């Protein structure tokens, strides 16, 4: 007989602990009792042997199982945290809480409990003193987990595992939303700077909204280190600092990074951190920019370290495929499931008349309460009942629904006496519009977060939510895309993101934002089914199913026939692709075109990118030589700008050669409306907007006119003049009053509450619809689409006329929202449009002209009356101290 294989005791314990019937019974009963307390239900609680449950939690917190250790540690934390909520006076809980959080390495949780114990000794039991051995272990663990750049704080174990590998050439890691993935990056950058590194770092974020949040956090991390070590934060390709000798920390979207690389080919990047890397798998046409910028960087002589960070996905190594020459992607990946906070999840099914509890360990829904037949489905009453005194986020699938529910929720609530809320409410009325609903609800501690707002206002809303002054926030997908607003409760009203169904990654990312390690170890998620058309099965599926392995968008969003059609078009020298299939969505068509532009550039450049490799099956024989020959005949060669194709570039060159230039402005910064519309009509033909931007810039109305283009011209003319948003809103409203037939979108009961176009009526509701629509146009059309096309126009104009700059550059006017030189200079130094306008209006008080003719700011601006301005100045004083004088 051979020897029996030896099994370690720990392996034997943890291999089967998940299926232990007594543990599962205890856990189920704890969830039930917690639910009774949460919903304030007068039902008999189930008996729970607290000390037995705590012993199980202690065992789970010590798990060494290679596959389930993270899951076991989260389970341990959840058991002890829920017991603390149910029975806060039980003497054993505090002792076990201390031990369990130490075992799991959750030192932030320990610090939070110590703060609670210090301030609430009458409600929280004091934790017993540790014995000597335990004390040694805790101190050793704390020292081992200490953050090098912030020695008084500790990493979670999962954070440290990632942190210790960030110096590798390539790494891709994933973890729960609450893991703090971007925090690890920031601490790595700070350590490198503290240690004297002279390097350039780039953090890639998916949205412009995140640029301000991340930038502010980095400045708070580094403060005086920025000037002491000659570092500058840069958030756009037009930053003044790029013309100077500094080390840089870039915080950019993929589009902004592309234009920075195109415009500054000599700027090296030593470390590229791609946050929210799962966007590379997105159907969104912007996913193509990730492929382009990563490939441009790895093609340079000095290759950067590249780190991808994703939430919740099981195969983070997939994004390493964008990089050439990696022999084993497995050795460059980390996937962790450990989260410092847990979520307790419920399905509240009004049509089904039932509240169900989701048990994540058994993966089953358990009915816990029947909803009375006479009870009306009211989301706002539910939020008010459960969320009283807590921080609540309500996810809605559309902007209209978020606004509608925020108004309903705020109705009847008193106006707050808090000065910060009232100040923000006044500023919204002043800066946006006096009738804007957001100002009213803000004054009551309620808000909605739905896309574009002036950055100063949006950041104040987020800050007041974190402080608890705004207690309930109604949101759309902007929250899913990374804005960090952790809450106690999350109410999800739909599984759609606009018209599309939410992906598993987005859903897990969303629910992972619940629970705040600064205040608690858990949060609550409520899937609220208000109507029959929301399918209960889809809600359950999103909770019960694991996030599937991710694939790259170049694989999932381009079919074989589409690739074949692209190659056949390129052989003919044609980049104006037809929609394939004919009912292809606008996003799908735009993404297909961008991949085609990347492919064409790679073929003509001889670059063996991932995109080119994915087309390999359709590029056999002499195909690539035929494509090169076809495009050698073009006046313009393909370049790196994937927003514009060769046919558009050729048209533009011809038009500029014939004398096309931007419309003239008068001395007051005004433009003739007709000349602006005429210029945009010419660009429409040059850039083929009817084909490429058919839903916006090239939209053709029933009367065969570009009606939307004329509407954009109204907003654009005011934007470049530098007028305040409130004036732009009033001009937009005046246009609607004069052209009521242009209409607004309205929800109608006759169409099952789908939005339909109705004639404009000058009601407060319609005025708010126009305000919201105008803000969206500024964000998506003026500052994205038109800005990109104007950038291309200005670049080509300078190339053709052989100049480095020229007067009347409308790209600058659009990018900075003004023609004023002082405002442009301030924004190129990092100020927002709104703060730059404030400074310009108070120029005599805060601006000093030097003997060299340069404008400097008095440091006294840091004490100005505007709260928004003071906050920006505080950051820029650290980032660009030379801009200020005493």
What would the pLDDT profile of 512-532 be if each residue is shown by its tens digit? 888 878 778 999 999 999 999
Q: Give the pLDDT band (50/70/90) at residue 9.
A: low
Q: Does 561 share its domain with 477?
A: no
Least confident segment among 229-233, 577-581, 749-753, 798-802: 749-753
Collapsed DSSP state (helix, strand, coil) of residue 278:
helix
Q: What is the pLDDT of residue 470?
A: 97
Give the angle 220-221-222 at the CA atoms, nearest 5°. 95
Q: How far apart are CA 104 and CA 63, in angstroms?
A: 9
Domain ends where: 594, 620, 642? Answer: 642
Q: Give the pLDDT band (50/70/90) at residue 126.
A: low
Q: What is the pLDDT of residue 6?
A: 54
Residue 254 lies in a domain: yes
Residue 550 lies in a domain: no
Q: Give the pLDDT band (50/70/90) at residue 851.
A: confident
Give 62-113 as a DSSP string. Answer: T---TTTHHHHHHHHHHHHHHHHHH-TT-HHHHHHHHHHHHHHT-HHHHHHH
Which alpha helices (H) appear in 739-785, and where do they start and end? 764-777
Least confident segment among 12-21, 294-303, 365-374, 534-543: 12-21
Q: Does 467 share its domain with 536?
A: yes
Q: Report the CATH number at residue 258.
A: 3.40.50.300
Domain ends where: 543, 573, 604? Answer: 543
Q: How far apart are CA 346 and CA 221, in angstroms?
A: 38
pLDDT, average across residues 227-237: 96
Residue 750 lies in a domain: yes
Residue 662 lies in a domain: no
Q: Does 777 share its domain with 824?
A: no
Q: What is the pLDDT of residue 500?
A: 83
Q: Does 167 share its domain with 312?
A: yes
- Dihedral sign computed on CA atoms, order 279, 448, 534, 384: positive
In which domain, by residue range, is 397 found? 361-543
Residue 549 lies in a domain: no
Q: Does 205 share its domain with 258?
A: yes
pLDDT at 131 over 70: no
Q: How far apart are CA 594 and CA 647, in angstroms?
A: 14
Q: Does 164 share its domain with 311?
A: yes
Q: What is the mean pLDDT of the chain?
A: 91
238-to-8, 199, 262, 555 alpha-carbon distances in Å? 61, 20, 12, 34
Q: Give the pLDDT band (50/70/90) at residue 1.
A: very low
pLDDT at 194 over 70: yes
What would the pLDDT profile of 365-406 be if each residue is shown by its tens digit? 999 999 998 788 899 999 999 999 999 999 998 888 899 999
Residue 346 lies in a domain: no
What would the pLDDT profile of 43-86 be if each residue is shown by its tens digit? 999 999 999 999 999 999 999 998 899 999 999 999 999 999 99
Q: Does 307 share its domain with 210?
A: yes
For 600, the enclosing helix (H) or strand (E) is: helix 586-605
CB atoms within 10 A of CB 850: 9
Q: Give the pLDDT band (50/70/90) at residue 111.
A: confident
Q: Give the pLDDT band (50/70/90) at residue 122.
A: very low
139 burial via Cβ count (<10 Å: 0-12, 13-18, 19+): exposed
What would the pLDDT profile of 475-503 be if each residue is shown by its tens digit? 988 766 656 787 999 999 999 987 788 88
What would the pLDDT profile of 210-220 be if each residue is shown by its tens digit? 898 899 999 99
Give the angle 334-337-342 at the CA atoms, nearest 5°. 155
Q: Does 378 share its domain with 307?
A: no
DSSP 665: B
pLDDT at 361 over 50: yes
Residue 752 lies in a domain: yes
Structure tokens that stand for 299 in this block = 């093609």
Query: In the chain, how many domains are there?
Result: 6
For residues 125 and 100, the model is more confident at 100
Q: What is the pLDDT of residue 609?
A: 94
pLDDT, average across residues 646-661: 96
What would the pLDDT profile of 775-822 be if each residue is shown by its tens digit? 989 999 999 999 999 999 999 999 999 999 999 999 999 999 999 999
CA–centroid distance for 794 within its chain? 30
Q: What is the pLDDT of residue 803?
A: 97
Q: Give the pLDDT band (50/70/90) at residue 825.
A: very high
What would the pLDDT profile of 244-253 be if each residue is shown by its tens digit? 999 999 999 9
Q: What is the pLDDT of residue 132?
A: 63
Q: What is the pLDDT of residue 512?
A: 87
Q: How far apart are CA 98 and CA 437, in angstroms?
A: 46
Collapsed DSSP state (helix, strand, coil) of residue 241:
helix
pLDDT, average across residues 423-431: 93
Q: What is the pLDDT of residue 124?
A: 46
Q: What is the pLDDT of residue 492?
A: 96
Q: Does 58 share its domain with 125?
A: yes
Q: What is the pLDDT of residue 209?
A: 81
Q: Does 283 share its domain with 206?
A: yes
What would the pLDDT profile of 98-109 be if each residue is shown by its tens digit? 899 999 999 999
pTM over the 0.85 mark? yes
Q: How far apart are CA 589 and CA 333, in angstroms?
A: 33
> Is residue 732 within 8 Å of 715, Cβ to Cβ?
yes
Q: How is the chain split among helix, strand and coil, in percent rounded to 5?
A: 50, 15, 35
Residue 811 lies in a domain: no
Q: How far apart are CA 250 and CA 228, in angstroms?
A: 18
Q: Which residues are bridge partners to 393 per DSSP?
A: 473, 490
Domain ends where: 494, 512, 543? Answer: 543
Q: Does 739 share its domain with 871?
A: no
Q: Does 328 share its domain with 386?
A: no
Q: Give the pLDDT band (50/70/90) at residue 8.
A: low
């Amino acid at each position: 007989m051979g020897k029996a294989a030896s099994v370690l005791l720990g392996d034997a314990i943890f291999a089967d602990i998940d299926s232990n019937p007594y543990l599962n019974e205890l856990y189920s009963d704890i969830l039930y009792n917690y639910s009774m307390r949460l919903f304030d239900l007068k039902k008999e609680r189930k008996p729970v042997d607290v000390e037995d449950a705590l012993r199980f939690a202690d065992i789970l917190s010590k798990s060494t199982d290679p596959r389930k250790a993270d899951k076991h540690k989260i389970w341990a934390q959840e058991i002890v945290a829920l017991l603390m909520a149910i029975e806060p006076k039980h003497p054993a809980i505090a002792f076990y809480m201390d031990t369990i959080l130490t075992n799991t390495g959750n030192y932030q949780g320990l610090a939070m409990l110590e703060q609670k114990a210090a301030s609430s000794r009458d409600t929280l039991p004091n934790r017993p003193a540790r014995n000597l051995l335990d004390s040694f272990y805790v101190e050793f663990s704390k020292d081992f987990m200490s953050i090098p750049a912030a020695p008084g704080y500790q990493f979670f174990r999962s954070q440290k595992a990632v942190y210790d590998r960030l110096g590798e050439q390539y790494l891709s890691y994933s973890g729960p939303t609450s893991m703090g993935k971007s925090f690890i990056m920031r601490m790595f950058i700070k350590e490198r700077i503290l240690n004297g590194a002279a390097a350039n770092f780039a953090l890639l974020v998916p949205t412009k909204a995140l640029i301000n949040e991340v930038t502010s956090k980095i400045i708070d991390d580094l403060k005086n280190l920025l000037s002491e070590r000659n570092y500058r934060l840069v958030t756009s390709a037009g930053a003044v600092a790029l013309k100077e000798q500094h080390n840089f920390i870039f915080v950019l979207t993929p589009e902004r990074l592309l234009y920075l690389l195109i415009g500054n080919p000599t700027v090296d990047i030593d470390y590229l951190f791609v946050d929210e890397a799962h966007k590379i798998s997105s159907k969104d046409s912007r996913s193509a920019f990730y492929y382009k910028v990563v490939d441009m960087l790895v093609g340079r002589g000095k290759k950067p370290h590249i780190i991808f960070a994703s939430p919740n996905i099981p195969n983070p190594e997939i994004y390493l495929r964008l990089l050439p020459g990696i022999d084993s992607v497995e050795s460059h990946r980390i996937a962790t499931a450990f989260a410092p906070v847990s979520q307790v999840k419920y399905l509240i099914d009004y049509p089904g008349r039932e509240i169900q509890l989701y048990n994540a360990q058994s993966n089953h829904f358990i009915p816990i309460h029947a909803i009375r037949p006479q009870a009306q489905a009211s989301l706002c009453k539910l939020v008010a009942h459960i969320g009283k005194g807590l921080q609540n986020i309500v996810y809605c699938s559309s902007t209209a629904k978020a606004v509608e529910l925020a108004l309903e929720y705020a109705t009847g609530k008193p106006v707050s006496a808090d000065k910060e809320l009232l100040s923000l409410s006044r500023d919204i009325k002043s800066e946006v519009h006096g009738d804007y609903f957001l100002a009213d609800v803000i004054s009551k501690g309620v808000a909605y977060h739905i896309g574009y707002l002036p950055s100063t206002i949006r950041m104040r809303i987020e800050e007041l939510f974190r402080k608890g002054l705004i207690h309930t926030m109604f949101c759309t997908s902007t929250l899913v895309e990374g804005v960090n607003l952790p809450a106690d409760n999350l109410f999800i009203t739909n599984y759609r993101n606009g018209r599309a169904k939410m992906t598993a990654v987005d859903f897990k990312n969303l629910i992972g934002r619940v629970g705040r390690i600064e205040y608690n170890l858990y949060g609550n998620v409520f899937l609220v089914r208000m109507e029959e058309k929301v399918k209960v099965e889809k809600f359950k599926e999103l909770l019960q199913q694991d996030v599937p392995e991710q694939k790259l968008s170049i694989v999932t969003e381009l079919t074989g026939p589409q690739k074949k059609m692209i190659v056949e078009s390129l052989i003919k020298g044609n980049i104006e692709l037809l929609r394939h299939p004919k009912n292809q969505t606008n996003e799908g068509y735009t993404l297909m075109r961008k991949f085609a532009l990347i492919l064409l550039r790679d073929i003509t450049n001889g670059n063996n990118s991932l995109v080119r490799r994915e087309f390999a099956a359709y590029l056999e024989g002499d195909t690539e030589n035929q494509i090169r020959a076809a495009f050698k005949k073009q006046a313009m060669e393909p370049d790196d700008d994937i927003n514009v194709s060769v046919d558009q570039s050729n048209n533009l060159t011809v038009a500029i050669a014939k004398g096309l230039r931007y419309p003239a402005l008068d001395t007051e910064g005004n433009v003739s409306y007709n000349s602006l519309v005429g210029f945009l009509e010419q660009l429409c033909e040059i850039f083929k907007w009817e084909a490429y931007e058919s839903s916006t810039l090239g939209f053709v109305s029933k009367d065969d006119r570009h009606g939307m283009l004329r509407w954009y011209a109204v907003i654009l003319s005011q934007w470049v003049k530098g007028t305040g948003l409130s004036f732009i809103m009033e001009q937009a409203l005046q246009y609607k009053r004069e052209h009521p037939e242009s209409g607004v979108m309205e929800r109608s009961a006759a169409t099952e509450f789908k939005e339909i176009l109705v004639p404009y009526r000058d009601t407060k509701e319609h005025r708010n619809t126009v305000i919201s629509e105008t803000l969206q146009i500024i964000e998506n059309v003026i500052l994205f689409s038109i800005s990109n096309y104007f950038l291309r126009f200005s670049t080509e104009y300078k190339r053709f006329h052989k100049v480095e700059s020229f007067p009347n550059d409308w790209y600058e006017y659009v990018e900075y929202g003004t023609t004023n030189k002082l405002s442009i200079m301030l924004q190129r130094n990092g100020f927002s449009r709104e703060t730059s306008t404030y400074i310009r209006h108070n120029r005599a008080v805060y601006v000093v002209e030097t003997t060299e003719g340069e404008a400097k700011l008095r440091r006294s601006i840091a004490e100005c009356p505007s709260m928004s301005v003071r906050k920006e100045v505080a950051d820029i004083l650290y980032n660009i101290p030379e801009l200020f004088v005493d």
